[in-house]
């Protein structure tokens, strides 16, 4: 009772009206941490206005770096100066040197209350910037550590003329009467406990999902028909639901989810508030993929949703089968009573565009509500170029340009950088589920701070820098509104057919690499079979069928001899290598993929040679127990120089990484550590010859220190390693990769 009276007195002293939206209690570090997993709050409205300070080019060009808000008296770059009460909810940056110090000045203080280096943020080694709330997922550093402030928060970075300083800072500006407890160190026991708990949940978001479809009766949906998944004539809130789908034989064809359509109706309305393909609703626009977020997931083949869906006078959820074959579905929902506070209705809509010269309009909403996220697919078509990712997101709130979001690049909005140079990644609020040559599928949810609008909200993405790219966009928007609103009708399935990806065949290995980085052999097998089905009879299709078998042999070495088949030509050569490897407990497979002219030596004996950046070479040899040395001589013939070497025995799995050494002369006594050079695919390298050597090319690329990789120069690499004796029944597990 005392807390209620003091809060009411605080409101009256501020002169606030009763209609002012305020949180249930004071905004604190602990309460904002809790918000990072609490999806139910989306159903009852949000206080404050979500805004962004970024380094975008205010002239409308593509020079989105080093555009600061000012420079302070100490010469530091001002990234944001947030006045009034609020909470910083997201910090994203890339191209800032590791030694740079990020400073946070709270409430008019002259010295930073919090100061952290870029290295500390990358490593997640400095409280409160710890993993997984602070990470470097794919080319950029991202932090979702909430930093509430009562009066003001100024964020600066120490100067470095060589740094690019691309950055985005999202924050929620709160109503003047909002009680806020500014962030302060050291954390007390309660704050530390909440930080630990939030990090634990973010590391294991699958534990947020509590229901499945195992004990639910299956329903067959004939081709061209619709079935009701959920129906109610009362009030309530769908807290969570799960849906499993197959073709009746237990399989899920690649295209089936895109031809199943979700529709949701609230309070007896005859027009749907949700009208989206099932695949796109669950961030799987290209094919079924496993992923887990704090709001949506696909776990062990079952789709899950934690987006709260309230209704006052009934609800109906349907699934329409627009494919040519019947589908079998199982649906389960967890319903709770309707909250007594104000209710906001869930909405979702899908849109696509192939129109060059103007932005892709994701959604345009009229009314009072808040935007909570998007799932987006895009790829270049005519004259394919990575430029399509140079387009910015532009979010306009209530037609107010001052409160608009203007981003610094498409992948930046989704928490990546440099065209997702670190490959695919899956995090609780953002991720990249597909990445190939100039084709990406990604998602981002604003659970940290939903974007509030009172009259109108418009979200669009540029078609590359200046809308100059030719390509395809398809996106799903998720939002809540105080009043029901009909969403645009979904085009028929024939109108949703996507244009052909001109690089699909050439870059299919890129998709394999990304799947292997997620250590998901089953998805890799499905990809290989998908290619073979799509391009039957081709030489590449045969190799991918062998690769699918090679994954099975990798998972079940005891069955390898029966699994691996003979095929003519090169396929026979690769099948023979695999058969001989599994037949000999002392055998070793050594593979090399290098951007230059190279010779690979094992214990001083030449083993592999190559001069084709698109092709990996593999040799079979024997390695007795003991100490061995891999050495490679490389002459650089192209820019962006790197090597990729993989060794596999029945007891050892070794790949090139920064523990390898390099030198300009093999006889030197001083060898230097190698440096990380990214992952495949790279901007300059997207075409790779298919092969059957699984889990060999997805590892980090390495290179020499700067200056040793000039064209025409020669560099040496080496790795000294031990081979253990073969133990009975010892096998490599997928997790060891």
Banded model confidence at residue 16, pLDDT cuts 50, 70, 90: low
- Round to whole Å and give the CA distance between 717 and 631: 6
Q: Are residues 302 and 241 in the same domain?
A: yes
Residue 716 counted as domain residue: yes
In a domain? residue 492: no
> Which positions ≥6 away from 250 have C-beta within 8 Å?
none
Domain with residue 180: its CATH number is: 2.60.120.1390
Query: pLDDT tens across 107-123, in order?
Result: 999 999 999 999 999 99
What is the rounded (10 degree) CA torsion for 393, 395, 400, 404?
A: -60
Q: For residue 132, which of 521, 431, 442, 514 has the smallest C-alpha distance? A: 431
CA distance 59 to 169: 20
Q: Are residues 453 and 512 in the same domain?
A: no
Using alpha carbons, select from 264, 235, 281 the residue that is nearest to residue 484.
264
Contact predicate 81/70, CB 8 Å:
yes
Least confident of 127-131, 199-203, 318-322, 624-628: 624-628
Residues listed for the chain: 737
Quick check: is 19 in a domain?
no
Domain end call among 338, 361, 376: 338
- Which distant-in-sequence residues (6+ apart) come within 8 Å of 405 by Cβ? 51, 52, 393, 394, 395, 397, 451
Q: Are residues 251 and 107 in the same domain?
A: no
**Is 361 in the same domain as 477?**
yes
SS3 388: helix
**Residue 184 to residue 513: CA distance in whole angstroms:** 43
Domain boundary among 145, 170, 203: 203
| pLDDT above 80 (res 3) | no
pLDDT in tens, 251-296: 899 999 999 999 999 999 999 999 999 999 999 999 999 999 999 9
Which of 91-95, 620-624, 708-712 shows the highest mean pLDDT?
A: 91-95
- The answer to whether the Cα torsion of 567, 571, 573, 574 is positive or negative is negative
Q: Pairing between strand 125-126 and 219-221? A: unpaired
Q: Where do the H-state alpha helices sit in 228-275?
A: none
**Is 500 part of a structural domain of the chain?**
no
Tally of domains within the chain: 4
Whether residues 575 and 628 fall in one domain: yes
CA distance 204 to 183: 26
Tokens of 517: 């980085």
More confident residue, 375 or 709: 375
With residue 77 as reference, give the H or E element that holds it: strand 77-83
The pLDDT, as a whole number, for residue 316 is 97
**CB-based contacts of 457, cutoff 8 Å, min separation 6:** 363, 364, 365, 369, 371, 395, 396, 397, 398, 451, 479
Three-state DSSP state, 680: coil
Looking at the fold, whether 322 and 402 belong to one and the same domain comes out as: no
Looking at the chain, the number of H-run helices and the number of E-run strands are 11, 47
Within a domain: 17: no
- Token code pair at residue 474: 């398809």
Please tell me whether residues 667 and 538 are part of one structural domain: yes
Report the distance separating Cα 116 and Cα 127, nearest Å.
9
What gap in Å lies between CA 717 and CA 674, rounded to an integer? 8
Q: What is the pLDDT of residues 599-619, one digit of tens each?
A: 999 999 999 999 988 899 999
What's residue 90's pLDDT?
98
Please check the confidence at residue 238 and state whether its pLDDT lies above 90. yes
Q: How far apart are CA 475 and CA 354, in angstroms?
A: 12
572 and 516 in a common domain = yes
Structure tokens at 356: 């060059």
Rounded to 10 degrees, what is the CA torsion of 668, 673, 674, 675? -140
What is the full DSSP assignment across 591-648?
Answer: EEEESSEEEEEETTEEEEEE--TT--EEEEEE--SEEEEEEEEEE--SSS--EEEEEE
Q: What's the pLDDT at 658?
A: 93
457 & 549 share domain: no
- Cα 170 to Cα 89, 519, 521, 723, 729, distances in angstroms: 6, 33, 37, 50, 53
The answer to whether 662 and 671 have CB atoms below 8 angstroms apart is yes
- Answer yes or no: is pLDDT of 730 > 60: no
The whole domain housing 546 covers: 508-736
Distance of alpha carbon 417 from alpha carbon 386, whole angstroms: 12
HEC sequence for 716-730: EEEEEEEECCCCCCC
300's torsion region: left (phi>0), alpha (psi -120 to 50) or beta? left
Q: Do residues 179 and 196 share a domain? A: yes
- The verdict on residue 701 lying in a domain is yes
Within-domain flag for 35: yes
In a domain, 172, yes or no: yes
For residues 250 and 380, state if they share a domain: no
The yes-or-no verdict on residue 7 having pLDDT over 50 is no
Phi and psi at 535, nearest 5°, equal: -125, 65
Query: 218 and 198, same structural domain?
Result: no
Q: Mean pLDDT throughout 333-357?
A: 91
Query: For the ranges 8-12, 97-101, 239-243, 269-273, which has the lowest average pLDDT?
Result: 8-12
Strands 309-311 and 129-130: unpaired
Instruction: State residue 570's pLDDT score.
Output: 67
pLDDT value at 438 more than 50 = yes
| Cβ 693 vs Cβ 573: under 8 Å | no
């Amino acid at each position: 009772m005392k807390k209620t009276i003091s809060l009411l007195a605080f409101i009256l002293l501020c002169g606030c009206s009763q209609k002012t939206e305020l949180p249930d209690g004071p905004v604190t570090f602990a309460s904002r941490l809790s918000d990072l997993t609490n999806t139910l709050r989306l159903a009852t409205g949000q206080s404050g206005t979500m805004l962004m300070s970024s380094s975008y080019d205010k002239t409308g060009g593509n020079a989105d770096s080093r555009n600061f808000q000012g420079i302070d008296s100490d010469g530091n770059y001002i990234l944001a100066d947030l006045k009034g009460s609020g909470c910083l909810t997201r910090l994203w940056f890339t191209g800032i040197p590791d030694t740079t110090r990020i400073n946070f000045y709270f409430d008019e203080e002259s010295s930073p209350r919090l100061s952290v280096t870029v290295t500390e943020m990358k490593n997640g080694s400095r409280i409160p910037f710890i993993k997984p709330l602070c990470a470097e997922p794919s080319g950029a550093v991202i932090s979702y550590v909430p930093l509430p402030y009562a009066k003001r928060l100024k964020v600066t970075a120490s100067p470095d003329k060589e740094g690019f300083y691309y950055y985005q800072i999202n924050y929620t500006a709160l109503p003047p009467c909002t009680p806020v407890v500014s962030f302060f160190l050291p954390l007390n026991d309660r704050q530390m406990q909440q930080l630990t708990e939030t990090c634990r949940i973010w590391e294991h978001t699958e534990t947020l999902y509590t229901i499945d479809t195992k004990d639910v009766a299956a329903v067959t949906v004939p081709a061209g028909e619709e079935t009701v998944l959920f129906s109610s004539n009362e009030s309530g809130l769908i807290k969570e639901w799960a849906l499993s789908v197959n073709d009746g034989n237990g399989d899920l064809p690649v295209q089936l989810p895109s031809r199943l359509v979700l529709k949701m109706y609230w309070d007896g309305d005859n027009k749907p508030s949700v009208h989206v393909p099932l695949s796109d609703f669950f961030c799987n626009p290209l094919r079924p993929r496993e992923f887990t977020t704090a709001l949506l997931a696909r776990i062990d083949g079952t789709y899950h949703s934690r987006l709260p869906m309230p209704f006052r006078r009934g609800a109906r959820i349907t699934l329409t089968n627009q494919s040519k074959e019947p589908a079998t579905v199982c649906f389960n929902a967890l319903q709770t009573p309707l909250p007594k506070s104000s209710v906001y209705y869930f909405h979702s809509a899908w849109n696509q565009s192939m129109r060059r010269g103007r932005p892709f309009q994701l959604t345009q909403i009229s009314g009072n509500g808040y935007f909570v996220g998007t799932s987006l697919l895009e790829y270049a078509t005519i004259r394919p170029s990575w430029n399509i990712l140079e387009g910015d997101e532009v979010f306009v709130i209530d037609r107010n340009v001052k409160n608009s979001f203007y981003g610094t690049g498409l992948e930046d909005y989704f928490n990546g950088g440099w065209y997702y140079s670190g490959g695919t990644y899956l995090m609780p609020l953002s991720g990249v589920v597909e990445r190939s040559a100039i084709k990406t599928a990604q998602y981002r949810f604003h659970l940290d701070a939903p974007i509030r609008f009172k009259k109108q909200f418009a979200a669009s993405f540029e078609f590359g820098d200046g809308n100059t790219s030719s390509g395809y966009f398809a996106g799903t928007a998720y939002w809540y509104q105080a009043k029901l609103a009909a969403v645009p009708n979904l085009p028929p399935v024939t109108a949703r057919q996507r244009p052909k990806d001109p690089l699909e065949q050439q870059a299919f290995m890129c998709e394999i690499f990304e799947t292997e980085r997620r250590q998901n052999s089953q998805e890799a097998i499905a990809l290989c079979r998908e290619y073979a089905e799509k391009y039957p009879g081709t030489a590449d299709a045969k190799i991918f069928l062998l690769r699918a078998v090679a994954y099975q042999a990798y998972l079940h070495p005891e069955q390898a001899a029966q699994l691996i088949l003979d095929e003519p030509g090169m396929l026979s050569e690769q099948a023979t290598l695999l058969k001989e490897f599994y037949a000999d407990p002392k055998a070793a497979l050594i593979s090399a993929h290098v951007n230059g002219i190279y010779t690979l030596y094992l214990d001083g004996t030449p083993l592999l040679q190559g001069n084709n950046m698109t092709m990996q070479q593999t040799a079979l040899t024997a390695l007795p127990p003991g100490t061995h040395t891999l050495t490679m001589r490389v002459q650089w013939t192209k820019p962006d120089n790197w090597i990729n070497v993989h060794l596999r025995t029945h007891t050892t799995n070794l790949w090139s990484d920064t523990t390898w050494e390099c030198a300009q002369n093999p006889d030197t006594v001083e060898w230097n550590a190698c440096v990380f050079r990214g992952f495949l695919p790279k901007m300059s390298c997207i075409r790779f010859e298919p092969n059957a050597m699984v889990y060999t090319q997805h590892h980090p690329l390495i290179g020499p220190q700067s200056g040793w990789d000039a064209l025409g120069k020669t560099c040496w690499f080496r790795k000294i390693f031990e081979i253990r004796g073969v133990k009975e029944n010892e096998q490599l597990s997928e997790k060891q990769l």
